[in-house]
Amino acid sequence: MNLELSEEQTAVRQLAKDFTDREITPHVVEWDRAESVDRSIVRKLGALGFLGLTIPEEYGGSGGDHLAYCLVTEELGRGDSSVRGIVSVSLGLVAKTVAHWGTEEQKRRWLPGLTSGELVGCFGLTEPGTGSDAGNLTTRAVRAGDDYIINGSKMFITNGTWADVVLLFARSTDAPGHRGVSAFLVPTDTPGLTRREIHGKLGLRGQATAELFLEDVRVPASAMIASEGKGFSVAMSALAKGRMSVAAGCVGIAQAALDSAVKYATEREQFGRTIAHHQLVQELITDIAVDVDAARLLTWRVADLIDRGQPFVTEASKAKLFASEAAVRAANNALQVFGGYGYIDEYPAGKLLRDARVMTLYEGTSQIQKLVIGRALTGVSAF
């Protein structure tokens, strides 16, 4: 892998950096306190092509490779993980899945809106009773003539109350476990689909996370994406690339922790000199810097593998595992550098730590990533 970025990658990274510094960073505290980012950000992301990266231009996408996608995700994550998450889900989990698995009709119906930001997508896999054990989900889709009727509920759905379409996973046959699961593209204004926003989250407070309830939701059979019983493969392929996106977002958090810790350490004085002169403070900053580099290299490796059409699933789990744990460590170390000021939300470290904390939980907990990696190493599945 050549670690020197191409002209195009350098340009898109700079575009994302400028956008983050101009449109996101100044509002971060306000959005966090209000428990909502400004919704106009979605259209702005779309206008710059950030919601269409890796999607073919014929469907409204902006093309680009997976490294470019990582660079943009990293910059957005440096600014606000709530904004980064909107992109990781609407583009990363939904639009990319439609582009990969969808019929021509599904691509034409959904991709132009999702890539422009006119539409928002959400990913409905987790249920109240099945999180890590998603293959045993219980939402049911029953065939009725040319339609399916869906009943059940979904939990912790990012973009849930904002979304126009949900990529929904439901059990449509009696085959046991994940073999009975199918995937559907369900417009969120379909009668019988209701949503409730979840408030009081520790972090990602600017992001709309919701419960979805489905009561006799009728969709045409043409809403199924991929074939019957293929839903779990669809979900896992989306999440494998999704883990790269989460890892890139974590690099952004760790980078923000580093930038803010260095700035503060070179300004704050104690014992007659800046705290940067104290070697134990330098140690905290050094530990953050090493985490940033290691997480970034693991993440870029995944992008490189995907772009070269090589197997990447285990490497994506390694990157997500390391980068998410590194983001928590980095934000915690930054908070230590800030001392008591790190504990109030006028300074960035506290929010970085609160946002980082969910990264070891969603899109597969750290324990689940270890099982995926362990299975690849030993050939023995613990699932």
Give the residue numbers annotated as catalytic, written as ranges: 363
Judged by CB under 6 A, the stretch of 4-12, 42-50, 266-274, 356-364 that binds ligand FAD is 356-364
Give the whole-angstrom CA distance, residue 101 versus residue 211.
26
Nearer to ligand FAD, 132 or 266 (CB): 132
Tell me the residue type at 287.
Answer: D
Secondary structure element (H or E) that encloses residue 187, with its range: strand 181-187
Nearest to 250 by CA among 288, 283, 306: 288
Q: Does 236 bind ligand FAD (CB under 6 A)?
A: no
DSSP 317-379: HHHHHHHHHHHHHHHHHHHHHHGGGGGSTTSSHHHHHHHHHGGGTSSS-HHHHHHHHHHHHHS
Q: Does 71 bind ligand FAD (CB under 6 A)?
A: no
Q: Does 358 bind ligand FAD (CB under 6 A)?
A: yes
Nearer to ligand FAD, 81 or 314 (CB): 81
The pattern of x and - marking residues 184 through 223 that bind ligand FAD according to CB under 6 A reads -----------------x--x----x--------------
Q: Does 125 bind ligand FAD (CB under 6 A)?
A: yes
Q: By the 8 A CB rule, do 152 and 140 touch? A: yes
Q: Does 232 bind ligand FAD (CB under 6 A)?
A: no
Q: Does 131 bind ligand FAD (CB under 6 A)?
A: yes
Nearer to ligand FAD, 107 or 354 (CB): 354
Q: By the 8 A CB rule, do 232 and 135 touch? A: yes
Q: Which residue number places its CB atom closest to ligand FAD? A: 131
The pattern of x and - marking residues 144 through 173 that bind ligand FAD according to CB under 6 A reads ------------xxx---------------
Selected from 297, 361, 373, 376, the binder of ligand FAD by CB under 6 A is: 361
Q: What does residue 154 show for φ and ψ, rounded to 5 degrees?
A: -130, 150
Q: By the 8 A CB rule, do 117 and 41 touch? A: no
Q: How many residues contact ligand FAD, by CB under 6 A?
A: 22
Nearest to 182 by CA among 134, 220, 231, 136: 231
Residues that bind ligand FAD (CB under 6 A): 89, 122-126, 131-132, 156-158, 201, 204, 209, 358, 361-363, 365, 367-368, 371
